[in-house]
């Protein structure tokens, strides 16, 4: 029988000229979007994919199938790579420790990644560093919840420390009864529950930067992120009307976190902009991600160096590229899956309507509400860009038909 995936190679093929192999654990869209920049740089990408039909496996010839939970599979994969990095933060510390023991260059290191894997560990570390966060507590029992609610009031926010994304793993609760299931699941998982005050933020911001093992760091401008139902749907780069001092504070906080935690590769710091003293603003850190991030997708088209190229440069300890924006504004809008599975036919309309627009689709199957792609558009008039980006994203996803 003919092999089902004849284009696959079982070992990454290195380009002549001394070029390295970068391994990415996980086959999602972040791994997939490293493929273009890797090809341009002459670097070979290899992806450990759970699913032979993942978005990354569709475009990367070296995509061995294996689970990030399977220590043997991860070690075999890493043995063929010069450096290993991640599409997600779910590789267990035990597996990461084995890679380090094997002498593999792992970026970010397990010691840094720990704080992106566990939101309780992250809150503890940031608080110890004096980085401003929402008020928070760990809860294992209903009594813990009551005690924290007495301090910050209802409603409050509860989060599963591990494994959440796109608002899954986050809930707003108005009574301790509403958290009974959450406490039970946290007890089963042995993780406890993270409680936070519900922050009445003005808006959400993110600072994205890259840091190399040598310690060089480069930050993109602070962006505004718009979430709908816990999912990021739009990013405005740079954040409009952001006070220069607040922007500088946010970048400083990001650089400090990256340095103190020893982050290598791209670091995203999600922020809440809140009312400060005398009518001004300040920022609180929401969470950290140590990998390319949705808040940085704009940079693929809107900055001199996009986040996927920068991540590769950082994990390879190459000098970093300029994060400077190419235009006054870039707007990114996420394409969310709708009821209609056919996406490609929409290109004809969208591309004809707006030749300046850039579409990035992830090779993922459509499910309602699932992030399946994004569009970027850059220029001088922010409101015009927002309208163009939103329309194109909605049209591709099938939410609008004209």
Ligand X SMILES: Nc1ncnc2c1ncn2[C@@H]1O[C@H](COP(=O)(O)OP(=O)(O)O)[C@@H](O)[C@H]1O
Q: Which is nearer to ligand X, 77 or 362 (CB)?
A: 362
270 binds ligand X (CB under 6 A): yes
In this chain, which stretch among 9-17, 20-28, 165-173, 309-317 interacts with ligand X, using CB under 6 A?
165-173
Minimum Å gap between C-beta 170 and ligand X is 4
Contact between 55 and 29 (Cβ < 8 Å): yes
296 binds ligand X (CB under 6 A): no
Q: Which is nearer to Mg ion, 289 or 333 (CB)?
A: 289
| 275 sits in which H/E element | strand 265-275
Residues 6+ apart with CB under 8 A from 18: none
With CB under 6 A as the contact rule, the residue among 166, 178, 317, 327 that binds ligand X is 166
In this chain, which stretch among 254-262, 264-272, 319-327, 392-400 interacts with Mg ion, using CB under 5 A?
264-272
Q: How many CB atoms lie within 10 A of CB 170?
A: 17
Please state whether beta strands 371-379 and 329-336 pair in parallel, antiparallel, or not at all (unpaired).
antiparallel
Q: Which is nearer to ligand X, 12 or 169 (CB)?
A: 169
67 binds ligand X (CB under 6 A): no
Interacting residues with ligand X between 122 and 161 (CB under 6 A): 134, 157, 159
With CB under 6 A as the contact rule, the residue among 61, 132, 155, 167 that binds ligand X is 167
Q: Which is nearer to ligand X, 82 or 118 (CB)?
A: 118
Contact between 112 and 89 (Cβ < 8 Å): no
Q: 267-284 burial, b for 16+ CB within 10 Å, e for fewer? A: bbbbbbbbeeeeeebbbb
Backbone conformation region of residue 340, classed left if phi is above 0, alpha if psi is from -120 to 50, else beta: beta
> 399 touches which of Mg ion, ligand X, none (CB within 5 to 8 A by kind)?
none
**Distance in angstroms (rounded) separating the CA atoms of residues 185 and 357:** 44
**Distance in angstroms (rounded) separating the CA atoms of residues 77 and 259:** 29
**Distance in angstroms (rounded) separating the CA atoms of residues 298 and 238:** 10
With CB under 6 A as the contact rule, the residue among 170, 226, 366, 382 that binds ligand X is 170
**Distance in angstroms (rounded) separating the CA atoms of residues 139 and 282:** 27
Binding mask 214-233 for ligand X (x = CB under 6 A): -------------x--x---
Minimum Å gap between C-beta 6 and Mg ion is 39
Q: Tokens for 347?
A: 């290109």
φ/ψ (deg, to 5) at 262: 70, 40
Binding mask 186-215 for ligand X (x = CB under 6 A): ----------x-xx----x-----------
For binding to ligand X (CB under 6 A), which residues are involved?
134, 157, 159, 164-167, 169-170, 196, 198-199, 204, 227, 230, 270, 286-287
């Amino acid at each position: 029988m003919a092999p089902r995936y004849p284009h696959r190679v079982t070992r990454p093929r290195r380009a002549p000229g001394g070029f390295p192999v970068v391994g990415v654990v996980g086959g999602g869209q972040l791994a997939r979007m490293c493929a273009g920049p890797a090809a341009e740089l002459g670097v070979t990408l290899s992806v450990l994919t759970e699913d032979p039909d993942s978005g990354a496996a569709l475009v990367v010839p070296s995509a061995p199938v294996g689970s990030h939970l399977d220590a043997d599979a991860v070690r075999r994969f890493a043995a063929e790579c010069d450096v290993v990095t991640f599409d997600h933060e779910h590789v267990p510390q035990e597996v990461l420790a084995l890679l380090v023991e094997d002498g593999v260059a792992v970026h970010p290191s397990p010691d840094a990644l720990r704080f992106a894997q566990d939101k309780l560990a992250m809150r503890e570390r940031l608080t110890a560093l004096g980085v401003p966060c929402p008020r928070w507590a760990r809860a294992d029992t209903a009594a813990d919840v009551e005690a924290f609610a007495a301090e910050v009031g209802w409603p409050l926010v509860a989060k599963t420390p591990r494994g959440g994304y796109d608002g899954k793993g986050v809930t707003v609760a108005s009574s301790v009864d509403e958290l009974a299931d959450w406490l039970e699941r946290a007890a089963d998982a042995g993780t406890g529950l993270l409680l936070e005050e519900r922050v009445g933020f003005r808006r959400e911001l993110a600072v994205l930067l890259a840091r190399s093992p040598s310690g060089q760091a480069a930050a993109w401008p602070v962006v505004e992120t718009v979430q709908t139902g816990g999912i990021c749907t739009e990013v405005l780069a740079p954040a409009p009307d952001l006070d220069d001092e607040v922007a500088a504070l946010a970048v400083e906080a990001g650089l400090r976190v990256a340095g103190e935690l020893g982050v290598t590769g791209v670091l995203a710091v999600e922020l809440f902009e809140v009312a400060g003293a005398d009518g001004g603003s300040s920022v609180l850190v929401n969470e950290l991600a140590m990998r390319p991030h949705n808040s940085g997708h704009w940079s693929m088209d809107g900055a001199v160096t996009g986040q996927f190229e920068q991540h590769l440069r950082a994990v390879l300890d190459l000098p970093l590229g300029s994060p400077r924006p190419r235009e006054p504004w870039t707007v990114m809008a996420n394409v969310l899956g709708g009821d209609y599975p056919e996406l490609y036919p929409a290109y004809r309309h969208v591309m004809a309507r707006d030749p300046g627009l850039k579409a990035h689709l992830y090779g993922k199957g459509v499910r309602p509400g699932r992030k399946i792609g994004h569009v970027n558009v850059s220029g001088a008039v922010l409101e015009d860009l927002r309208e163009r980006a939103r329309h194109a994203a909605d049209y591709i996803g099938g939410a609008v038909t004209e």
